[in-house]
Structure 1
Amino acid sequence: MSPSPGRFAALQHRDYRLVWGGNFVSVIGTQMQFVAINWHVYKLLEGTALSINLLGRQVSLNAEALGLGGVGLARIIPIFFFALVGGAMADVVNRRKLLILTNSAAAGFAAVLAVLSFQQRDTVWVVYLLTAAGAATSAFSSPAFQSIVPNLVPASDLTNAISLNSIVRQVATIVGPVMAGLLLAKTNVGWVYALNALSFVAIVAALALIHYRAGPAAIGTGLGLSAILEGWRFVRGARIIWGSMLLDFFATLFSSARTMLPLVADQILGMGAGGYGLLTTADAIGSLIAGLLVSLRRDIYRQGTVLLGSVALYGVFTVLFGLSGTFAASYLFFALIGASDTVSTIIRQTLRQTLTPDRLRGRMTGINQIFFMGGPQLGELEAGMVAAAFGVPFAIISGGIATVALTGYIAWRYPRLRRYNSATMAEESAAVAAAGT
């Protein structure tokens, strides 16, 4: 494949275009279910009180907040168990076939959750269990998906492809929550899960139609502890990649405003399910605008500085969101949270995919998944516990402050990440290649 000039150049490649479109439909369903699960758990626990004995005193905790934190725990436990194996598999087996299998399994789990919801057998523990099962499939599908994208477009179009993937995610995060909010207000939550199950048909069909052939570097390298350790040694040796992963983890660990959205919408803003669905679109709109602006550029200058600055702003806007008490202000600051997060995500993903050799890309992505998904999901648990003890605004504000402080630490601790840009890419590629030998 030769480099493609012009904007949205990645869409000129047939296989990428098919996968992009199928993923678009699938992610809409995933976002619908993401919103529905949080609301589902909140409603199952609504009005429930939890009291514990602390140093001889009875302390009442917010059961709904703890329940939402439990959703994050259900999502992250399978990631910790399976992400490294999933990353190694993405370097060993055919990535297309692995994606077809894992997406089909995810559709099955969503269908089971739909049936149980219709039958009113939907306890909190059932929701947790099937959420964990779906997360287990993503531990295998996420490394394979991120690793297959560089196989579908030339290197010159990779930033554009990652930007377009970000646009898919953000548009889906607008459409999905709105659709979920409307359905949650009018129908059984099972319909949301059923639509998510159907949405996986699009990505499975797209994967079946592409002409993807795995290169020799991606197939047959062996699957075992030695392969996993090789990926770990590579990531730890490539300090710029390791630093970007730590930045990702700590930012999302503490700035978990999205986790508290059901409580913000219902208890602080008094807007119910419809307002919850609408508020969840705010960060997606901000992310969409940021993603479109980035996709119109072939490159981002001073990537390291922009990366660190956008993460710091992510923390600042989280603080302002926690301080806001009106819907308009909350919507604005949540949109700015989304915009800053998208800019940093595009830079981080492009940096890692560009600097990592194809034979190690799946394992790198599997390790990154622990950070990328571990941060937000552990953040849900952390935010739920803090909110249960000290209130929702305190949980959000303190998380934003911690994010800003930790961003400053990463900038000081990893100066090569701070200085990273197009001019230093060749130097960093050589350093990263040395880490992989």
Structure 2
Amino acid sequence: MPLLLDVRPLAVPAYRRLWTGQVTAGIGLQASVVAVGQQIWELTRESLWVGMLGLAHLLPLVVFGLWGGAIADAMDRRKLLIIGSSVAWVSTLGILIQALLGIGSVWLLLVNVAVGAAGFAVSSPTRGAIIPRVLPKELVTSANALNGMVMGTASLVGPMVAGVLMWAAGGYAAVYAFDAVLFTATLYAAYRLPSLPPLGEVSRPGARAVAEGLRYIFTSKILLMSFVVDLCAMILAYPRALFPELVDTRFGGSEVALGLLNSAMAFGVVGGGLLSGWARNVRRQGLGLIVVIAIWGLAVAAAGVVDQLWLVVLFMAIGGYADMISSVWRQTILQTYAPDEMRGRMQGVFMVVVAGGPRLGDLRAGASAAAFGLTGAWVGGGLACVAAVIAIGLTVPSFRKYRPQL
């Protein structure tokens, strides 16, 4: 059984442009994510305020993600990708300007983050709906593994670049400028795509179209459970909002430690992604999801009880590998189960769950740390994730037995 990452999708020019733009822009985005979180921590010295970044993301992701997915089923997906990416780029410029002017306003940062989330909420489901249009069905799982490598590479390189730039340049403006420059790659990639008009029956975008998509999900137990298990993983176990406090209390506030901690999951995503060829041959993907999400929760819990930085990084890397495989299978289920006229809306919900889940996780982690302390919030969340996903496996046998029709 081949183990190496399958790169055949990159031979398709449209997908290759999309993928390259994601890699480049993703590095800048992840650098900014670290810088914004650290800037808010320095302004407030409270993990709860860092967790509020999750809330600033959440509402735009839900509203514009569902709406953007409906639009992606009704108009040329290339044009919509350009529009959504442009809005996100404007947000990046706004964050850069506040840093250059030395404003230092938490609320201004949160507003700009919300605008960027709205642009991302439109562009992300559009991009996901484009992939099955430009690739043959048998390459979709491999493409999702490559997309996992995009996020892994960005999450690995971006935070480390942020740490270096904050240390070398002595401020946040350099990080935000780096993001603004690299983000132009996404705009260029979208511009070079071919026209992608809707196929099949076209529903007018709006509340009815969104309701049709949600009804489709709730009447399909397989799709619904694929979303539920990811929410268990992200809301209950995602510890990102606790990183600044952990670095401050255990590692002396080291910016290098902050960069390593934010990159830890990405080590597993990139390293494991290079050996992800086996994932496309797994047929019991429902059972596989239950197993890898339980591994994620255990890895997070283990990272919360150790004091050595290298052990925290190791356990979070193991969790990152498990999460990457989970993402590949969940995306494949969604892209191959739903017809093309539903894919935009399915990707919209997927994006809301994938991007909104960690933001709720940020809020959960910050609030839990305020109530139970750093260790209680971190370890308790990981163990709760394991318990929840095992319970789902026991109570929903149709999901546990699911096999994709590829």
Structure 2 counterpart of 1:396, one-letter code:
W
| Structure 1 position 184 matched with structure 2 position 174 | no
Q: Describe how 1:302-317 pairs up with structure 2 within 5 A.
A: 302-317=284-299
Between structure 1 and structure 2, the one with the greater Rg is 1
Q: Describe how 1:331-346 pairs up with structure 2 within 5 A.
A: 331-346=313-328
- How far residue 321 of structure 1 moved from its aligned partner, in angstroms, is 0.7
Structure 2 counterpart of 1:412, one-letter code:
L
CA distance in 2, matches of 1:212, 1:290: 34
Specify which of 57, 60, 78 is matched with residue 78 of structure 1: 60
For residues 206-231 of structure 1, the C-alpha deviation after alignment (integer angstroms, 9 at most, x for no partner) is 1212224324337x431122211111
Paired residues of 1:83 and 1:370 also in contact (CA < 8 A): yes
Structure 2 match to 1:434? none
CA distance in 1, matches of 2:125, 2:277: 22
Paired residues of 1:164 and 1:295 also in contact (CA < 8 A): no
Structure 1 match to 2:29? 30
SS of the aligned residue for 1:391 comes to helix
CA distance in 2, matches of 1:379, 1:166: 20
CA distance in 2, matches of 1:206, 1:77: 27
- How far residue 398 of structure 1 moved from its aligned partner, in angstroms, is 0.7
SS of the aligned residue for 1:167 comes to helix
| Structure 1 position 209 matched with structure 2 position 192 | yes
| Structure 1 position 197 matched with structure 2 position 196 | no
Structure 2 match to 1:403? 385
Using the TM superposition, name which of 230-239 and 193-202 deviates more. 193-202
Structure 2 counterpart of 1:293, one-letter code:
L
Q: Describe how 1:168-179 pairs up with structure 2 within 5 A.
A: 168-179=150-161
Paired residues of 1:253 and 1:376 also in contact (CA < 8 A): yes
Structure 1 portions without partners, runs of 5+ = 1-5, 47-63, 427-437
SS of the aligned residue for 1:365 comes to helix
Specify which of 274, 278, 303 is matched with residue 321 of structure 1: 303
- How far residue 300 of structure 1 moved from its aligned partner, in angstroms, is 2.2
- How far residue 328 of structure 1 moved from its aligned partner, in angstroms, is 1.5
Structure 2 counterpart of 1:138, one-letter code:
F
- How far residue 330 of structure 1 moved from its aligned partner, in angstroms, is 0.6
- How far residue 234 of structure 1 moved from its aligned partner, in angstroms, is 0.4
Using the TM superposition, name which of 118-127 and 269-278 deviates more. 269-278
Structure 2 match to 1:384? 366
Structure 2 match to 1:369? 351
- How far residue 383 of structure 1 moved from its aligned partner, in angstroms, is 0.7
Structure 2 match to 1:286? 268
SS of the aligned residue for 2:291 comes to helix
| Structure 1 position 275 matched with structure 2 position 257 | yes
Structure 2 match to 1:11? 10
CA distance in 2, matches of 1:200, 1:272: 28
- CA RMSD across the alignment: 1.6
Structure 2 match to 1:156? 138
For residues 137-168 of structure 1, the C-alpha deviation after alignment (integer angstroms, 9 at most, x for no partner) is 11111110111111111101101111111111
CA distance in 2, matches of 1:83, 1:182: 33
For residues 312-360 of structure 1, the C-alpha deviation after alignment (integer angstroms, 9 at most, x for no partner) is 0111111101111111211111111101111111111111111011100
For residues 182-235 of structure 1, the C-alpha deviation after alignment (integer angstroms, 9 at most, x for no partner) is 1112322022112212222111111212224324337x4311222111111100
Paired residues of 2:304 and 2:379 also in contact (CA < 8 A): yes
For these two proteins, the number of residue pairs brought into alignment is 401
CA distance in 1, matches of 2:315, 2:379: 13
- How far residue 269 of structure 1 moved from its aligned partner, in angstroms, is 2.3
Once superposed, which parts of structure 1, at least 4 consecutive aligned residues long, lie more than 6 Å away? Answer: none
Structure 2 match to 1:66? 48
SS of the aligned residue for 2:203 comes to coil
- How far residue 301 of structure 1 moved from its aligned partner, in angstroms, is 3.5
Paired residues of 1:107 and 1:198 also in contact (CA < 8 A): no
For residues 392-412 of structure 1, the C-alpha deviation after alignment (integer angstroms, 9 at most, x for no partner) is 111001101110111012112
Structure 2 match to 1:264? 246
Paired residues of 2:162 and 2:175 also in contact (CA < 8 A): yes
Structure 2 counterpart of 1:398, one-letter code:
G
Structure 1 match to 2:113? 131
SS of the aligned residue for 2:164 comes to helix
Per the normalisation by structure 2, the TM-score is 0.95
The structure-2 alpha-carbon separation of the partners of 1:241 and 1:297, relative to structure 1 and needing over 3 Å to count, comes to closer
Using the TM superposition, name which of 320-329 and 202-211 deviates more. 202-211
CA distance in 2, matches of 1:407, 1:398: 14
CA distance in 2, matches of 1:366, 1:257: 24
- How far residue 78 of structure 1 moved from its aligned partner, in angstroms, is 1.2
Structure 2 match to 1:431? none
The structure-2 alpha-carbon separation of the partners of 1:225 and 1:286, relative to structure 1 and needing over 3 Å to count, comes to same
- How far residue 82 of structure 1 moved from its aligned partner, in angstroms, is 2.2
Structure 2 match to 1:394? 376
Paired residues of 2:239 and 2:361 also in contact (CA < 8 A): no
Structure 1 counterpart of 2:79, one-letter code:
K
CA distance in 1, matches of 2:215, 2:276: 32
Paired residues of 1:88 and 1:223 also in contact (CA < 8 A): yes
CA distance in 2, matches of 1:392, 1:268: 11
The structure-2 alpha-carbon separation of the partners of 1:154 and 1:192, relative to structure 1 and needing over 3 Å to count, comes to same
Paired residues of 1:109 and 1:133 also in contact (CA < 8 A): yes
Structure 1 counterpart of 2:185, one-letter code:
A
Per the normalisation by structure 1, the TM-score is 0.89
Structure 1 counterpart of 2:188, one-letter code:
A
SS of the aligned residue for 2:103 comes to coil
Structure 2 counterpart of 1:203, one-letter code:
T
Structure 2 match to 1:241? 223
Using the TM superposition, name which of 413-422 and 386-395 deviates more. 413-422
Structure 1 counterpart of 2:55, one-letter code:
L
CA distance in 1, matches of 2:278, 2:79: 32
